Chain A
């Protein structure tokens, strides 16, 4: 069953920050592929969702960027800033609390 991407919109920033916490630095396409791999193709970042979210996080100072020339093209890498490292902990806690509340509200049993 395909995952409804709408449900993930509010947690996109958390997903990105958490991926970057685990992977040091990543570029845009790499993030989309990693999300696809982890969710086994169920969640696909599209409709211009990823890059605006990355740019917003960068403007908020949660991400730092660097560029590198790879195969004759410029690649922009994103990494967590010091503020981003602190924010990822708080965002993950928020997500956990939200999931717990949702389970209570919808009478869902956590997956085993």
Chain B
């Protein structure tokens, strides 16, 4: 059957509130339209209901499967993010950090100002968080539904900021840890090192993984 624009709108209105995420909605909508276009029956919403029940097991099953899908896909991307992050710490990447630390400690003659490092780390983490949340909001407005990866994206883009927050309120807090100036410097360098790797990993993950589903 050839579907008219009115019939397509009717289908969209019927299914739009069911799936929470646009990936599931797009897949469901495309499947229904393909099934109807292949059939020789006359269009009716009962036919749509029959396809949903036959091929997807009904609306409740769609919502249930969507939750499982979100959990599994989140796990996959978390694993991917962690492995990218850890890879930077492996040989020979970690050599660069060791070389920089050695260079600094061997040539240091005056006290080191850690403020620029701290400010740079905070700015980097805030930039990632703003970028991540802006992407989520823009795509939500553009596509009228959240992506299945938005939950994961929100978590990843705010984790850097969370780590810095914890760091500022524990390691660098004199009421909690009484670190010497040398100790503070090492802690600051470690935090900055973490931020650099975090931002790089985030950009890499975003470029390779998120572009697919945000199309």
State whether the Cβ of B7 lies closer than 8 Å to any Cβ in chain A. Answer: no
The answer to whether A67 and B55 touch across the interface, beta carbons within 8 angstroms, is no
User: With A46-B55, A56-B72, A66-B212 as given contacts, are A76 and B23 in contact (CB-CB < 8 Å)?
Assistant: yes
The answer to whether B65 and A32 touch across the interface, beta carbons within 8 angstroms, is no
A70 to B, closest residue via Cβ:
B30
> In chain B, residues 46-95, which have Cβ atoms closer than 8 Å to a Cβ of chain A?
54-58, 61-62, 65, 68-69, 72-73, 75-76
The answer to whether A48 and B31 touch across the interface, beta carbons within 8 angstroms, is no
Mostly helix, strand, loop or mixed at chain A's interface? Answer: mixed
Q: Which residues of A contact B212 (CB under 8 A)?
A: 65-67
The answer to whether A59 and B75 touch across the interface, beta carbons within 8 angstroms, is yes
User: With A76-B23, A76-B26 as given contacts, are A29 and B56 in contact (CB-CB < 8 Å)?
Assistant: no
Quick one: which of B23, B29, B62, B76 contacts A48, CB cutoff 8 A? B62
The answer to whether B76 and A29 touch across the interface, beta carbons within 8 angstroms, is no
State whether the Cβ of A47 lies closer than 8 Å to any Cβ in chain B. Answer: yes
Q: How many A-B residue pairs have CB under 8 A?
A: 68
Interface centre among A29, A46, A67 (most CB of B within 10 A): A29
The answer to whether A55 and B65 touch across the interface, beta carbons within 8 angstroms, is yes
Mostly helix, strand, loop or mixed at chain B's interface? Answer: helix
The answer to whether B29 and A51 touch across the interface, beta carbons within 8 angstroms, is no
The answer to whether B72 and A55 touch across the interface, beta carbons within 8 angstroms, is yes
Q: Which residues of B contact A60 (CB under 8 A)?
A: 76
B52 to A, closest residue via Cβ:
A48
> In chain A, residues 35-84, which have Cβ atoms closer than 8 Å to a Cβ of chain B?
45-48, 50-52, 55-56, 58-61, 65-67, 70, 73-76
Interface centre among B27, B38, B57, B75 (most CB of A within 10 A): B27
Q: Which residues of B contact A76 (CB under 8 A)?
A: 23, 26-27, 30
Min C-beta distance of A29 to chain B, whole Å: 4
Q: Which residues of B contact A32 (CB under 8 A)?
A: 55
State whether the Cβ of B215 lies closer than 8 Å to any Cβ in chain A. Answer: yes
Q: Which residues of A contact B (CB under 8 A)?
A: 27-30, 32-33, 45-48, 50-52, 55-56, 58-61, 65-67, 70, 73-76
